[in-house]
Amino acid sequence: EVQLVESGGGLVQPGGSLRLSCAASGFTFNNYAMSWVRQAPGKGLEWVSVISGSAGSTDYADSVKGRFTISRDNSKNTLYLQMNSLRPDDTAVYYCAKGIHLLAVSNSFDPWGQGTLVTVSS
Amino acid sequence: EIVLTQSPATLSLSPGERATLSCRASQSVSRFLAWYQQKPGQAPRLLIYDASNRASGIPDRFSGSGSGTDFTLTISSLESEDFAVYYCQQSSNWPLTFGGGTTVEIK
């Protein structure tokens, strides 16, 4: 069974940093691109970032470019999101999600993790 | 950025009725369009990918159609567990984008 389990969320002050992790199991991790998608309270879904299976390619939404860094450790089957210079409008549930197409970077997502809540507030 | 517009925002129907949800793209996305279902407190679940392919384990009452800029998700006969929010998502162009969602509620 494919499983994604996020961790690392919490309360952080504006301007602070946080690193999210997503532990993956049940599939050949380095064959699939992985993404982070967020959902602000009561709002819709926003794609945040993607990383290819080999980690050779990454991309970001304009709203986080220059502040967030996506990475992965294929030896540990783990995806990361380093979030710096956090702002109140970054408050959201952050989901990690597996791309559905083998070796493709642009993708639909299946499955998703259960999400981890990041709250940016003083 | 490709904007996805979903309509209606809310659909009020009874169990057993047919639901038709629309997703319109601001420019062509070919068939790179997916649909997700989200229930309160849960992560989204993939229903349809590449416009018309059902994801693994998805009942055949869910179907997707369309190409280019106009797409439809149809639920042929609503079950109680189908009342939820539905999102479309395009993977044709960067950045990947989602529609604003359609809530299917019990009438």
Q: What is the DSSP string of B33-89?
A: EEEEEE-TTS--EEEEETTTEEPTT--TTEEEEEETTEEEEEESS--GGG-SEEEEE
Instruction: For strands A116-120 and A10-12, give the pairing.
Output: parallel
Q: Do A44 and B98 touch (CB under 8 A)?
A: yes
Give the best residue of B96, B97, B98, B103 to mutate against chain A (max A CB count within 10 A). B96
Q: Partners of B37 in the beta sheet?
A: B45, B86
Model confidence at A105, in pLDDT bands (50, 70, 90)? confident
* A77-96 pLDDT per residue, tens: 999 999 999 999 999 999 99
Q: Can you tell me the mean pLDDT for A9-28?
A: 98
Q: Which residues of A touch B92 (CB under 8 A)?
A: 106
Rounded distance, CA B59 to CA B3, Å? 29
* Cβ atoms < 10 Å from Cβ of B10: 11
Q: Do A44 and B97 touch (CB under 8 A)?
A: no
Residue A104 has pLDDT above 90, yes or no: no
Percent of chain A whose predicted confidence (pLDDT) is above 70: 100
- Note the pLDDT of residue A102: 84
| Count of beta carbons in the 10 Å neighbourhood of residue B22 | 16
Read off the pLDDT of each residue in A3-24 and give the average, rounded to a whole number.
98
State what percent of residues in chain A have pLDDT above 90.
94
Query: What is the predicted pLDDT for the residue at A94?
Result: 98
Residue A36 bridge partners (DSSP) = A49, A96
Contact by Cβ (8 Å): B61, B75: yes
Please report the pLDDT score of residue A14 as a whole number: 98
Cβ within 8 Å, pair B43-A113: yes
Q: What is the pLDDT of residue A118?
A: 98
Q: Do A44 and B99 touch (CB under 8 A)?
A: yes
Complete DSSP assignment for chain A: --EEEEE--EEE-TT--EEEEEEEESS-GGGS-EEEEEE-TTS-EEEEEEE-TTS--EEE-TTTTTTEEEEEETTTTEEEEEE-S--GGG-EEEEEEEESSTT-SS--EEEE---EEEEE--
The A68-73 sheet, strands edge to edge: A3-7, A18-25, A78-83, A68-73
A9 touches chain B (CB under 8 A): no
Contact indicator for A6, A115 with CB cutoff of 8 Å: yes
Cβ contact (<8 Å) for A50 and B101?
Answer: no
Residues found in chain A: 122
What's the pLDDT band for B34 if we cut at 50, 70, 90? very high
> For residues A27 and A56, what is the distance between their CA atoms, to the nearest angstrom?
20
Contact B91 A106 (CB under 8 A): yes
* Chain A residues 17-56 with CB within 8 Å of chain B: 35, 44-47, 50
Q: Name which of A35, A47, A109 is nearest B46 (Cβ-Cβ).
A: A109
Backbone torsions φ then ψ of B72, nearest 5 degrees: -135, 135
pLDDT digits (tens, 9 = 90+) for A50-73: 999 999 999 999 999 999 999 999
What radius of gyration do chain A's Cα atoms show? Answer: 13
Closest A-chain CA to B48? A108
Choose among B36, B56, B98: nearest Cβ to A47. Answer: B98
Given a cut of 90, whether residue A106 has pLDDT beyond it is no
Of B1, B2, B85, B91, which to mutate for an interface test with A (greatest number of A Cβ within 10 Å)?
B91
Number of residues that make up chain B: 107
Cβ within 8 Å, pair B49-A108: yes
